[in-house]
């Protein structure tokens, strides 16, 4: 069955330091991978996606993600964190066969000044 795992409930990082939010997936067929961010009391905002092509995907607000097929991972990264990056981050995978979009449990990113 398709699934997405975000192994960390919370990630803490100091402003200016690099950040990584982890995501692993399991799907049948080709994976279409996404990262979304949610600010308090708001809907989700799209950050980036991997459909095919280069394994390093660049997205909004300076975020990027690396697709690793052998490790079935799609970790979100940013070279230098900002306090304003503090939010809830969701990894999602769209099963290429069924079309369903499955979200991970979310990781809270806390960036401290």
Partner 1 sequence: KAGVTQTPRYLIKTRGQQVTLSCSPISGHRSVSWYQQTPGQGLQFLFEYFSETQRNKGNFPGRFSGRQFSNSRSEMNVSTLELGDSALYLCASSFQEGPGELFFGEGSRLTVL
Binding site for partner 1 (CB under 8 A): 32, 34, 36, 41-46, 49, 51, 90, 94, 96, 98-106
CB 55 to partner 1: min, Å: 17
Q: Between 17 and 30, name the residue whose CB sits nearer to partner 1.
A: 30
CB 84 to partner 1: min, Å: 19
What is the rounded (10 degree) CA torsion for 62, 67, 71, 74?
50
CB 70 to partner 1: min, Å: 21
Q: Between 19 and 35, name the residue whose CB sits nearer to partner 1.
A: 35
Q: CA Rg, the chain, in Å? A: 13
User: In whole angstroms, what is the distance from residue 101 CA to residue 78 CA?
Assistant: 24
User: In whole angstroms, what is the distance from residue 7 CA to residue 23 CA?
Assistant: 7
């Amino acid at each position: 069955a398709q699934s997405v795992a975000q192994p960390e409930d919370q990630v803490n990082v100091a402003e200016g330091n690099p950040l990584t939010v982890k995501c692993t997936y399991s799907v049948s067929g080709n994976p279409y991978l996404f990262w979304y961010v949610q600010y308090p009391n708001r809907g989700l905002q799209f950050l980036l996606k991997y459909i095919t092509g280069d394994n390093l995907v660049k997205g909004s607000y300076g975020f990027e993600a690396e697709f690793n097929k052998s490790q079935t991972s799609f970790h979100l990264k940013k070279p230098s964190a900002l306090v304003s990056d503090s939010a809830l981050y969701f990894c999602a995978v769209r099963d290429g066969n069924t079309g369903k979009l499955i979200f991970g449990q979310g990781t809270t990113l806390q960036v401290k000044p």
